[in-house]
Every structure is written in structure tokens, then in C-alpha cells.
Structure 1
Amino acid sequence: MDFLEPAFMQRALLAAVLVGITAPAVGIYLVQRRQALMGDGIGHVAMTGVGLGFLMSANPVWMATLVAVAGAVVMELIRAYGKTRGDLALALLFYGGMAGGVMLIQVGGGSNANLLSYLFGSLSTVSTEDVTAISVLAAFVILVTVGLRRQLFAVSQDEEFARVTGLPVRLLNLLIAVTAAVTVTVAMRVVGLLLVSALMVVPVAAAQQLSRSFKATFILSVTTGVVVTLAGTVTTYYADVPPGATIVLYAIGVFVLLALLAAPLARRRAKAAEAAAVDGCDSTVPAGRKPADDVRV
């Protein structure tokens, strides 16, 4: 347990736990909405916020949050109202955000090491100020994703039905986008902006291999997120490997493992359902007729 002694590891582990909770908690709604790559796009935009932080000598986490939220709102508006040129507008937003961030970091006096730490994560650079910002933002994400889970699930499942029931669909869609943006900035110090989308999607996909209900998927995906972020952080301390890549590879490993476990379970469920159907048919065979006759018919 010597990895708990360094102060930077204590900060990194706390940040890892918060990332492991928040990323899948938001990702489950994005996966349901078929917007699995939204986090990747927001990560590109957030890079401009990081660059502005260096340029203005401000905390890059807070600046990235402001820019990512603004970018997420624009993305949601393009999704809702964009027509044939919507994809082009999103592409310009994503690539412009990344290019602008790289340029601003260099102009603001940042180094390539600073750039790489935000792109792929870095444990040693997580400061006390970063942990404070991450904790506040994570609290917001958890409050939204858990407190409004019924409303967010309804909107993610079927917007038209949610609108008929009287839910503020447009406001909830914007809230999902803003929460995803906040999650990206929460995770960027540990996983990195280029890999945060994987942590929002892969644990959810892994959980869906075994679970059927929304509640079970939510709990299992968050559990998976916490386990892989902690495992990746500890591995990085001992093996000196990139934290973001390590965490994502662990998440993919969990997905493969659960997929292998789910295959025989699915076959058992199919056989049980088939047997139940056959038993149901047998029980409804009229008197005087043989079950075999009904099977042939």
C-alpha cells in the first residue's frame, strides 16, 4: 500500500474515483441517445478552454468547463435545428477547438508536456486546486444524473413520448449536453481529453452485456468505471505508463470479459424461453389431440 503515501497519488486516486463515477453516469444517457462520440467532440472543444487558461493565467479546469459547456450547447442546438450542413458545422467546431487549444497553449507559454498531460492524462500534475474543482463539478454531475434519472431516461429513450407527457424536452436535452461537457473537464486530468469519451461509453457497453434494466446497467457501469480508474491509476504508479491509455485498456478488458460471460448466459436464457414456450403450447393442447400433432401444424 505504499502507493497511498505520496500526496500526488492521494489526489490522483480521489480524482480517479470521481471520474469513474461521473463518466459512466453520463455515458449511459449518451449511449441511449446514440451519441456515444459526443464526449470526444466536447473534448476537442475543451482544449480551447485549456489554452485560454494558460493564456490568462487561470485554472485550466474552470476555463475548459466554461468553453466545453458553451460548445456542448452549440452542439445540441446544431443537432436539434441543423439540417443538411449540420455535420459540417460540428466538424468545424471540433477541429477548430482542438487547433485553437494547441495554439493558445503555445502562445500562453505552455510546453509540449503540458499539452500531453491534458490530451492523455497525468497523475503527477493533479494539484489540490484541480481536486477541488473536480470535486465541485463531479457533485453537480452526480446530482443531475441521479436526481433527474427518470426524466433524463425518458428523454433519451423517446423524445416524442417525453414531450407528450409534458416533460421540458429541450431543456433536458441541453442539460444532458451541459452535464456531458462538465464530465469531460472532470475526467481530463486523469484520462485525458482524447480518451475521456471511451470511459463514458465502454463501461456502459460492458454493463449492458449482463444487465437488462436501466438501474442495473447504471450501477454496474459506475462500478466498472471506479474499478478500472483505480486499477489504472495504481498500475501507472508502479509501471510508469500513461494513465489514460491504461484505464481505457482496462475498461476494454472488462468489456471483453463480460461479453464472454454473457454469451453462455444468453444461450441459457434462450433455451429457458424456448422451453417455457413449448410448455405453454403443451398446456393448451385440446383434449383428444397429441402434442406432436400441434407441433407439426
Structure 2
Amino acid sequence: MPELPEVEVTRRSFAPAIAGARIEAARLGKPLRWPLGLAPEDLVGREVLAVRRRGKYLLVDMSEGLLLLHLGMSGSLRFAPADGLPPPGTHDHFDLFTSQGVLRLHDPRRFGAVVYAAGEADPVAQKLLGRLGMEPLEDAFAPQAFYAGLQASRTPIKQLLLGGKLVVGVGNIYASEVLFTARISPLAPANTIGPRRALRLYEAIRRVLAAAVEQGGTTLKDFSNADGMPGHFQLQAQVYDREGLPCTQCAAPLRMLRQGQRSTFYCTHCQKL
């Protein structure tokens, strides 16, 4: 599933190229998770101003309104000249034709979404964005606020990170990596993590996610950015998908457990409750 680094890498790969483009047409394929919210032809004539990210959502700001894009479980975006893309296939569910190229959403499992909202304060946008936590790569992500959020929850820390209400974007792959870097057990109740370990965790979140963005995200199966380039962070993962292999720090075999139907990889020796 594309997580924050993959979404941010995708944004960076096409945001400068589409900024200032005029929308010439839009095409919808098979229905996605939610309806677009207006007729595709109503987008014609609007200008694309910028592309932002909030959590795992991409926000395409237009001269009138915005589009919220989510990649779901298996989605990816491509941005290319009209003659640089093949005709839409079965899994190509949205094309935005602009004066500077075509933005296409490809999603085999159709859990992705393209939703129109009049603005970020629109109830449609607030339903999707209103409960999202702090952005981990922004200055507003403060250690004190993060620690306070930990102290307010008894949820196991791995599941709290995945929930997205305290901090957004620490998805399953990166939560395992972050907790290993911070030397904290994924089973530790959040409110048992003291100030020193909380600061280690805070720093690990920022460091691991920033490194993943620099590596182009993680490609386990089919993720690629809007230029078609895969990510490489998986090559430096220390625990994710390494069950039974030796820990890079202590050489003990790494373990895997299930938490909320998600796989967690960790070292029982290095990561303490």
C-alpha cells in the first residue's frame, strides 16, 4: 500500500510539471471508492495551481475548487504527454487531460479515489482530512505534542502509529522500521513510553520517513512515481519482511507477529517493552 513517502515522492514527481496547466478534458473509468462529485466536463477550463499533500491524500488546487486523490491499496499516478501514454486500460480509472500533459490514475484494486471539493473547508474535504494527525515532516510536528499524544493512549504503539490520528503517514512498513530504530517494542502501550524513549521515537519517525522519500519510497510489488520510476527504500530495510534473518544489531533472529491483521517485524532482544 502506498504510504506517506510514496505519496510524497509521487507528488514531487509531477507537481512542478502540472502547475499552471489548463484542464482540457477529464475521463472516468470504472467507479472508484467514492464518486467524483461533479460531472467530469465541469473541470474543463480550470487552471491547476499547485499540488499539495495531506497525509496520504494529494490535493490538486485549481482556480476553482480542488481534487483530492488517494492511491488506495495498489494505485499509482502517471503524468506524461498525451502521446506518451497508451490508450486507457481496464485498470486506468481517471484521466485528467491538461495543456501540459495527462495525469492518469491506475488502480487494479479500485480502492483509490478522486473526489472534488469546493475547498479544504468543504464538508466533503473535511470528512477525509479533518481527523488526520500531525504531519511528521513539517516543523509543526513538535516533540512535546507527540509525547502528550502518547501519554493519552493505552493502545500498543505500533497500532497507534498506524491509526493516523496522532501522526499521519507512518504506515505498516515504516512503523516496523521506526520502532526498530527507536528500540521500542511494537507491543508497548503508548502511555508507558517515557520522555526519553518518546524523543527517540519522534526522531526515528522523522529520520526514517525522510530517508524513504530520498530513496524514492518503497517498491515491493508495483509502486512507481508519476515518471514510472520505482523506489529503493526496501533495499535498506532493517526489519520489514526479514522474519528469521539475523538482526543487524545483535544477530538474533527477527520475529513476526500479527497486530490488527497487519504483519509486524521486530527484534525481541533490541526492542524492549
- Shorter-chain TM-score tier: 0.3 to 0.5
TM-score between the two structures when normalised by the length of structure 2: 0.33
Structure (1 or 2) with the greater helix fraction: 1
TM-score between the two structures when normalised by the length of structure 1: 0.31
Give the number of the structure whose alpha-carbon radius of gyration is greater: 1
Q: Which has the higher contact order (CA 8 A, sep 6+)?
A: 1
